[in-house]
Amino acid sequence: MYKISLITGDGIGPELSESAESVLNTIHDKYDLKFEIIKLLAGDSALKKTGAALPMNTIDTIKKSDACLKAPVGESAADVIVVLRRMLDLYANVRPAKSYPHMPALRDDIDMVIVRENTEDLYTGKEFTVGNAAVALRIITEYASKRIAKYAFESAKQRNSKKKVTCVHKSNVMRITDGLFAKACTEVSKSYPDILFEQMYVDACAMNLIRQPEQFDVIVTTNLFGDILSDESSQVVGGLGMAPAANIGDNFALFEPVHGAAFDIAGKNIANPSSFLLSIKMMLDWLGVKHSDTKCFEVGQKLETTIFDLVKTGVKTKDIGGDKNTTDFTHEIIKNL
């Protein structure tokens, strides 16, 4: 039995968590893949109730679980996900961007993944003032750069795709920090002669994600650039509603939708749960690798196929122009599972 910690989040988070829990319970019952789901508080609701956005009880329970699912949280997001990434050394932020039917993607043949370094860069929060100037320290290390590059190349090996890694940076301007990152990726590429390796400046990459998104396979980049480009790639395939994400370390992983808490539609039962459900698919794949559990892979593929086939028939939630509410959409997923 897998012990799954579930952060129920803020805004539409509790509604998406109900959808995720229903799907996990269906998998538990129909596929003999057992889960124990432990609901946890974190984010704005936790801050209001306990005085901490990330209570110690939540941290302790996450550490004792096999994996974590996190619904979106509100304004305190940086005090939750950024802290957990660094605390648990979840160094790889993995964000697929894939065309799904009846979604406003630029093309129907987009299938890429952005592998973003998750522990350093400007996101370390090392900022201070000097007189009337504000200063931020950008930290890029050889160790973290090579580690994320290796993860990207291993991902490209496993994908049934173009077998290509694109290293994205801005070393023509940030010659030392991005120069180190580019050099580290180049050195790692030498151990993967069967994987095509290319480099691209981040501004050119942002343009080509619009101009030729079908040309990308695996993009590896630094923390800030990865954060921006992954949102852009999500929009290229139709929006954040179909965008899952994983935060992966050597010993633990956390899975979440890319989108935020969407307070404007919270409580209306109209939010698309697909990104959170696709995050479950990523979790199953990770558990399958970690525990050599082929059933996890099989059920994860079944879940993704079910979502793909459902949206192919034109079934969508009201927030993206359909006529289904969150509960009805989830029931359709469960019925087809």
Residues identified as active-site = 123, 170, 203, 227, 231
Based on its alpha-carbon atoms, the radius of gyration of the chain, rounded to whole angstroms, reads: 20
Whose CA is closest to 233, among 205, 262, 261, 200? Answer: 205
- Asked if residues 240 and 259 have their Cβ atoms less than 8 Å apart, the reply is yes
Task: Tokens 């034109």: give the residue.
Answer: 314
Bridge partners (DSSP) of residue 247 are 93, 254
- Asked if residues 209 and 233 have their Cβ atoms less than 8 Å apart, the reply is yes
Burial (CB count <10 Å: 0-12, 13-18, 19+), residue 72: buried
- Asked if residues 19 and 273 have their Cβ atoms less than 8 Å apart, the reply is yes
**Phi, psi of 100, rounded to the nearest 5 degrees:** -120, 150
- Asked if residues 106 and 236 have their Cβ atoms less than 8 Å apart, the reply is yes
What does the block give as tokens for 268?
């209306």
